[in-house]
Amino acid sequence: MPRIATTSDLLPELARGPALNVTVNGTAVEAYDGETIAAVLLAAGLWQLRRTRRRGEPRGPYCGMGVCFECLVTVDGAAIRACLTPVTDGMRIETSQEAAP
């Protein structure tokens, strides 16, 4: 899901905040002030953010409003909901990509 790059008559004028330095699993990704972590991850093509503990099933954003907890990621050692948390400059985000044993 790429970011909207242009404006059109159907959309309000595109206003994007300043670029931020954000990494996901050690790789720099494009991020702008005012975006949520989930928006940054989806724009980077990362849909799988974690795996279930018991069965190792992939999970990603589902509700987009803080209800389902499917978007949990790790930031500075703490599990947080990506859909509710705005990115900040220097943020290091980690997702759980590995399968369960």
**Please, which of residues 31-70 interact with ligand FES by CB under 6 A?**
61-64, 66-70
Q: 20 pairs with which residues across the strands?
A: none
Q: Applying CB under 6 A, does 71 fall inside the site for ligand FES?
A: yes
Smallest distance, Å, CB 34 to ligand FES?
A: 17
User: Rounded to whole angstroms, how far apart are CA atoms 22 and 32?
Assistant: 9
Nearer to ligand FES, 44 or 83 (CB): 83
User: Rounded to whole angstroms, how far apart are CA atoms 65 and 46?
Assistant: 18
Smallest distance, Å, CB 56 to ligand FES?
A: 19
The number of angstroms, rounded, from the C-alpha of 40 to the middle of its chain's C-alpha atoms is 5
Residues that bind ligand FES (CB under 6 A): 61-64, 66-71, 81, 83
